[in-house]
Amino acid sequence: MSVIPVFRHQPAKPCRVYAHRGANREAMENTRDAFDRALYYAIDGIETDVQLTRDEVAVLWHDRFLNKIGYPDRRIDDFDYTQLQALVPPCGGETIMTLSDFLARYRERCQLLVEIKNRDWESIERHRIKMRLTLDLIGTNSDRYIAVSSFNLNSLCYAHQYRPGFPLIYNVEPDQTVDDVRALLATHGFLHGFCLPIANTDQAIVELLQRHGKCVGVYTCNSDAEINHALRSGVDILISDVPDQALRLRDR
């Protein structure tokens, strides 16, 4: 007798809505204000970004350069943490937040998705330091779900060696296809999940990942059409700059 696969048409947990860098359209992204505003909407989780200062302090910042605070020619890793705090003008009374402070404040309040920004501009050793620091600061997963994601597959392989069993999510690039994902499923079975760009998300790729027992996330869903498309596809995590809008569409 053949086994019938179970897809999203069966009863399932509702899609979890994650605020992308907090409620970043209402406050400076990756700040306490943005995170607190997102929690006002009773979101399920927060997505944030980790970079490394010159003296190897893990901080929350998305871009390499500091253009969003008026320093377009300076990089986050040009400065030690204390210098960065002195340099950065307050954003609504805030300066750049450390990962340690973020975890202390939010890990018991909602689920977390921590993206490690490991790109080609840094050395592999810096990539590894960033991953080790992040995993050490998180420690063991609490009652609230915490996962680490990255576009850098080698960094996720290193993280798996360093902390086997920790939930790691690969961020799929927009130019990658369902065949690329299928190949990764065959060679990187340790991955807890995949986070897909909304433009590449369809029923075929979602069901492929579900058949392999993987968590399916999607980024970044901001219009009604994008949010509804993600919800219809049956993904587990929907990342949005407008979490209140995503929650309304999910719950109505």
Domain residue limits, the chain: 16-251
10-14, 56-60, 106-110, 160-164: which has the minimum mean pLDDT?
10-14
Task: pLDDT band for 69, please (50, 70, 90 cuts).
Answer: confident
Chain-wide mean pLDDT for the chain?
Answer: 91
Of the candidate CATH numbers 3.20.20.190, 2.60.40.1180, 1.10.260.40, 3.10.620.30, the domain formed by 16-251 belongs to 3.20.20.190
> SS3 for 29-56, per residue?
CCCHHHHHHHHHCCCCEEEEEEEECCCC
Residue 2 has pLDDT above 80, yes or no: no
For residues 48-62, average pLDDT: 97
Give the tokens for residue 200: 């590449």
Contact 193, 214 (CB under 8 A): yes
The H or E element spanning position 9 is: none
110-114, 144-148, 150-154: which has the minimum mean pLDDT?
144-148
Task: pLDDT band for 11, please (50, 70, 90 cuts).
Answer: very low
